[in-house]
């Protein structure tokens, strides 16, 4: 009988066995097998040796407890778990798996195999297990993981990079669109980071960025994602968050924590940050639109004085263009005399006499009128123009103060950029000589930010200034985080208690009054003078007097005065000021003039808002209202606020809000939540004056209950 051609010839079985042994011994690959229950029945001996396991440790174990798919690898995130693959009885094609038996996923050293498996069936067609091959791909796979990580993460800070966060944002916005879910985006960059790089070097700058990244991750936690876009720009993505109260609190916390001083080796640095916030779908429902909104809000926050947050609103313009235009116009303003100084008195509580005048810069634009220094000073600080502005201010203040009584000092604010200029002591000396003013009458007000940079140069500048005979004051004391070390080493003559403590000093749930007392006590112990800033009401005055304050600056005594006003006072022979103002400080009450809508049932009425607080508003323009009437105020951009009429005086009326407003980051107030245009339409609310329900045009057939009247301007 002739042997079948398909049967193995003599010696072929031995050859196969030898080839298989060589295949395993040389590490080309290994062989494995399971039974129909998925338990390992065979694994090459060389594989067991490599894994440092005895056969009894492995054989009989479920295959899915021995291997697992790496779901953290972006290339394998779509791979199904091994348990699913084995139960499907389908072929397994070159699946990279982690050897998991006795090896936690957090272990430093891992073993990665590439496995292929084929389902085997018995003569009746029943599944009988897998037969497969495997090979060690640890080195190549770890290299792939590293390369993948580089593609997704910033190599310096370990945060997500621009590419990966943009992909993630696209996915979130796309998934959330249909359901109307929200997603907040915070854009931030670091104030004064360039100065750290310039004065301390790029290596210290890199260490600072790493520290900032760690602080941001600690603040955000698992509530969102943090990314570094490049340079000193960071992005925070917060899915399912549209509460502007919570977002404002988080932005404030970011600003406070990021602004704490940094110890970087033997160097110290102080920076700040500003935050812009955009919220989908209100401020954009695509990645580009939302990023643009948050970016515009960021520039608005920086232009508003830095160290602040800002929500996006539709009236924001391209701030980059605005900044450049303002810088160009500021140069012209300095040349053409549009800038001037006003002077706010510092008063002795005991006598009411003025002991000092703080010079404050103002800019009257020929077309836009008064522009706040909080807008133009930061722009000047980003260019060399701040040195020119500072020199002009010192010269002008000294010349004017020379005309005033000898016992009254003049205080002048000095930018940290200006202080760091090596020529600054020369500028001060020149102003003293040119004006002829007594040096001890000149007080230079500095903030903690001057301490960024070379400590030897800072000490040298201090020595030169004290050598000229001028006084030095530490402004905004208590808002920083390491002021005591500065007081120990720097020759200050005066400490100024920041207004933020005074604002809340009458509130029992705050520690502000105790902090004021501690600062005054510290100042007395160091033989320094103390001025308390921002006193606006008699209840605040009583608190700071009780805590030991001797000198006060604030609206309760005087707003900033023109030079002519000051001269008139002095020419009268006496410059004593009696306090005059409200008995109680009310930070909430803000005068506004703003057109709003008032919705009652299905009618939209026009009204004018006259004043606004967190809890209510004063309005004008509707007649016929009764106390207790419920309205929905349309404050614009999806801000709908349920309120109740509490007082009526003709066409004027006051309302109380159902939910209090929150800070908008720009000195104003806003609703916590907004209502999208889709929700407004679905609810059938009128969307503009002259409409009822969702339809544009005429009102419905029923008559309005109230009457609109023209509000006075």
SS (H, E, C) 217-281: HHHHHHHCEEEEEECCEEEEEEECCCCHHHHHHHHHHHHHHHCCCEEECCEEECCEEEEEEEEEC
Q: What pLDDT does 461 receive?
A: 92
Q: What pLDDT does 280 receive?
A: 93
Q: pTM surpassing 0.85?
A: no
Q: Are 172 and 288 in contact (CB under 8 A)?
A: no
Same domain, 346 and 299: no
Same domain, 128 and 161: no
Q: Provide the token pair at 559.
A: 């707003």
What is the domain range of residue 298? 153-316
**From CA 506, how far away is CA 538, in angstroms rounded?**
10
> Residue 379 class from Cβ within 10 Å (0-12 exposed, 13-18 middle, 19+ buried)?
buried
Break the chain down into helix, strand, coil percent, rounded to 5.
35, 30, 35
Neighbours of 461 (CB within 10 A): 18
HSE (CB half, 13 Å, CA atoms) of 595?
A: 10
- The SS3 call for residue 55 is helix
Going by C-alpha positions, the residue among 492, 501, 483, 551 that lies closest to residue 526 is 492
Identify whether 264 is part of a domain: yes
Domain boundary at 116, 145, 174, which? 145
Q: What pLDDT does 647 receive?
A: 92
CATH number at residue 694: 2.40.10
Q: What angle do CA 267, 272, 277 make, to 5 degrees?
A: 145
Same domain, 432 and 481: yes
Gyration radius of the chain over CA positions: 36
Domain boundary at 571, 601, 616, which? 571
Identify whether 417 is part of a domain: yes
Tens of pLDDT, residue by residue over 139-185, are 888 887 777 666 788 889 999 999 889 989 998 998 887 777 899 99
Q: Are 541 and 347 in contact (CB under 8 A)?
A: no
SS3 sequence, 105-126?
CCCCCCCEEEEEEEEEECCCCC
Same domain, 607 and 536: no
Same domain, 605 and 564: no
Going by C-alpha positions, the residue among 440, 496, 433 that lies closest to residue 471 is 440
Identify whether 98 is part of a domain: yes
Q: What pLDDT does 361 receive?
A: 95
Going by C-alpha positions, the residue among 636, 603, 596 that lies closest to residue 619 is 596
Q: Give me the sheet containing 112-121, strands edge to edge.
A: 40-43, 30-34, 127-136, 112-121, 92-99, 67-69
Same domain, 158 and 303: yes
Q: What pLDDT does 694 receive?
A: 40
Identify whether 324 is part of a domain: no
Same domain, 522 and 658: no
Neighbours of 331 (CB within 10 A): 15
Q: What pLDDT does 397 receive?
A: 97
Same domain, 199 and 54: no
Identify whether 579 is part of a domain: no
Residues in contact with 347: Cβ distance below 8 Å, sequence separation at least 6, in sequence order: 353, 354, 355, 551, 552, 553, 557, 558, 577
Identify whether 713 is part of a domain: no
Q: Provide the token pair at 307.
A: 């160290």
Same domain, 283 and 357: no
Residues in contact with 588: Cβ distance below 8 Å, sequence separation at least 6, in sequence order: 613, 614, 615
Identify whether 695 is part of a domain: yes
CATH number at residue 498: 3.20.20.450
Same domain, 225 and 270: yes
Going by C-alpha positions, the residue among 557, 562, 570, 555 that lies closest to residue 342 is 562
Identify whether 329 is part of a domain: no
- Please state the domain count of the chain: 4
Q: What pLDDT does 699 receive?
A: 43
Same domain, 541 and 393: yes
Domain boundary at 111, 145, 179, which? 145
Same domain, 463 and 602: no
Q: Which residues of the chain have pLDDT under 50?
A: 1-5, 78, 481-482, 689-701
CATH number at residue 258: 3.30.70.270
Q: Are 473 and 495 in contact (CB under 8 A)?
A: yes
Q: What pLDDT does 462 receive?
A: 92
Interhelix angle 385-401/424-435, rounded to 10 degrees, is 30
């Amino acid at each position: 009988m002739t042997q079948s051609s398909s049967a193995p010839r003599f010696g072929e079985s031995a050859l196969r066995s030898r080839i298989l042994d060589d295949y395993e011994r040389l590490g080309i690959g290994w062989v494995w097998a399971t039974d129909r229950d998925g338990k390992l029945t065979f694994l090459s001996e060389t594989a067991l040796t490599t894994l440092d396991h005895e056969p009894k440790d492995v054989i009989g174990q479920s295959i899915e407890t021995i291997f697992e798919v790496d779901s953290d690898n972006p290339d394998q995130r779509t791979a199904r778990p091994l348990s699913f693959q084995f139960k499907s009885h389908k072929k397994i094609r070159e699946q990279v798996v982690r050897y998991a038996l006795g090896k936690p996923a957090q272990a430093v050293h891992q073993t990665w195999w590439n496995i292929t498996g084929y389902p085997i069936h018995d003569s009746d067609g029943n599944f009988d297990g897998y037969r497969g091959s495997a090979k060690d791909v640890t080195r190549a796979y770890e290299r792939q993981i590293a390369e993948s990580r580089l593609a997704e993460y910033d190599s310096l800070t370990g945060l997500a990079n621009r590419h990966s966060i943009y992909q993630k944002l696209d996915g979130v916005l796309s998934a959330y669109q249909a359901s109307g879910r929200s997603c907040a985006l915070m854009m931030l960059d670091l104030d004064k980071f360039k100065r750290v790089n310039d004065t301390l070097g790029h290596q210290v700058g890199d260490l600072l960025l790493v520290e900032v990244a760690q602080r941001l991750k600690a603040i955000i936690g698992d509530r969102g994602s943090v990314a570094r876009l490049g340079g000193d720009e960071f992005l925070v993505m917060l899915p399912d968050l549209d509460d502007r109260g919570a977002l404002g609190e988080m932005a404030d916390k970011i600003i406070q924590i990021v602004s704490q001083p940094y110890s970087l080796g033997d160097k110290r640095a102080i920076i700040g940050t500003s935050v812009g916030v955009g919220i989908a779908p209100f401020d954009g429902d695509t990645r580009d639109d939302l990023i643009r909104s948050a970016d515009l809000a960021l520039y608005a926050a920086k232009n508003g004085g830095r160290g602040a947050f800002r929500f996006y609103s539709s009236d924001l313009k391209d701030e980059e263009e605005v900044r450049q235009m303002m810088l160009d116009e500021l140069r012209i303003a300095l040349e053409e005399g549009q800038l001037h100084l006003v002077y706010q008195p510092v008063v002795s509580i005991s006598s009411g006499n003025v002991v000092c005048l703080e010079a404050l810069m103002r800019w009257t634009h020929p077309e836009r009128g008064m522009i706040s220094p909080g807008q133009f000073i930061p722009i000047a600080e980003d260019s060399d123009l701040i040195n020119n502005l500072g020199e002009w201010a010192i010269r002008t203040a000294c010349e004017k103060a020379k005309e005033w009584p000898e016992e009254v000092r003049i205080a002048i604010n000095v930018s940290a950029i200006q202080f760091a200029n090596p020529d600054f002591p020369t500028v001060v000396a020149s102003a003293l000589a040119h004006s002829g003013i007594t040096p001890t009458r000149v007080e230079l007000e500095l903030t903690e930010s001057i301490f960024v940079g070379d400590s030897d140069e800072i000490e040298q500048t201090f020595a030169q200034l004290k050598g000229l005979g001028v006084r030095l004051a530490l402004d905004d004391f208590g808002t920083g985080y390491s002021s005591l070390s500065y007081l120990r080493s720097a020759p200050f003559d005066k400490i100024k208690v920041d207004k933020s403590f005074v604002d809340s000093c009458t509130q029992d749930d705050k520690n502000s009054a105790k902090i004021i007392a501690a600062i005054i006590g510290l100042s007395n112990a160091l033989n320094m003078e103390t001025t308390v800033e921002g006193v606006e009401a008699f209840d605040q005055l009583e608190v700071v007097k009780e805590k030991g304050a001797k000198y006060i600056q604030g609206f309760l005594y005087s707003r900033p005065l023109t030079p002519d006003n000051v001269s008139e006072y002095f020419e009268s022979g006496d410059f004593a000021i009696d306090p005059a103002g409200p008995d109680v400080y009310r930070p909430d009450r803000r005068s506004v003039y703003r057109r709003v809508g008032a919705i009652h049932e299905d009618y939209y009425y026009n009204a004018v808002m006259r004043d606004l607080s967190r809890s209510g508003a004063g309005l004008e323009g509707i007649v016929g209202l009764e106390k207790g009437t419920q309205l929905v105020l349309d404050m614009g951009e999806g801000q709908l606020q349920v309120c109740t009429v509490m007082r009526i005086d003709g066409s004027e009326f006051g309302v109380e809000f159902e939910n209090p407003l929150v800070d908008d980051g720009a000195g104003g107030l806003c609703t916590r939540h907004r209502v999208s245009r889709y929700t407004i339409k679905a609810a059938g609310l009128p969307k503009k004056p002259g409409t009822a329900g969702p339809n544009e045009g005429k009102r419905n057939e029923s008559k309005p209950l109230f009457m609109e009247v023209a509000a006075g301007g």
